[in-house]
């Protein structure tokens, strides 16, 4: 399950060489598996509530964002500590989450009707260009 969330964060990363796959499948100890579950839950919560407009959803997003962006690594199950143990870059994951959220916000701002209009205009421009030999 977490691999699915990881892929949504690094799908556009041209240098990803399967690191996520190997890290997720190599977790052998019970502690590492628990850490993976905690990280998975945080990513799921972030993605589920990233565009929340209701007070409960906003509160849940705020809570998970506080955990994700907290730089304190003293606590065993802090985001920083989990990333360190599992050999992930916390800043890289944060960047992926921010890029994912930005893309979701941009997609939400374009309504299906606007998408349809843009598609038609693009097709029209392409057809006109072809007819004029461009």
Phi, psi of 53 (to 5 degrees): -115, -15
Q: Is 11's pLDDT higher than 60?
A: no
Contact 77, 68 (CB under 8 A): no
Contact 20, 2 (CB under 8 A): no
40: tokens are 């998975």
- Beta strand ranges found along the chain (DSSP E): none
* Burial class for 123, CB neighbours closer than 10 Å (0-12, 13-18, 19+): exposed
- pLDDT by residue (tens digit) across 110-125? 566 666 665 665 555 5
* Burial class for 122, CB neighbours closer than 10 Å (0-12, 13-18, 19+): exposed
- pLDDT by residue (tens digit) across 61-77? 999 999 999 998 788 89
96: tokens are 């992926």
50: tokens are 């990233």
Please give the Cα distance from 48 to 101 (Å, whole number): 10
Instruction: Return the SS3 of 71.
Output: coil
Contact 63, 42 (CB under 8 A): no
Q: Is 85's pLDDT higher than 50?
A: yes
What's the pTM?
Answer: 0.64
């Amino acid at each position: 399950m977490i691999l699915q969330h990881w892929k949504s964060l690094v799908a556009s990363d041209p240098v990803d060489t399967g690191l996520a796959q190997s890290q997720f499948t190599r977790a052998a100890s019970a502690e590492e598996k628990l850490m993976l579950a905690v990280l998975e839950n945080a990513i799921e919560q972030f993605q589920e509530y990233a565009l929340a407009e209701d007070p409960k959803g906003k509160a849940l997003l705020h809570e998970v964002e506080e955990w994700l962006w907290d730089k304190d690594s003293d606590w065993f199950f802090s985001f920083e500590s989990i990333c360190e143990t599992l050999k992930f870059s916390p800043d890289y994951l944060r960047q992926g989450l921010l890029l994912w959220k930005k893309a979701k916000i941009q997609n939400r701002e374009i309504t299906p009707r606007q998408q349809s209009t843009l598609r038609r205009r693009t097709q029209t421009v392409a057809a006109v260009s072809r007819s004029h030999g461009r």
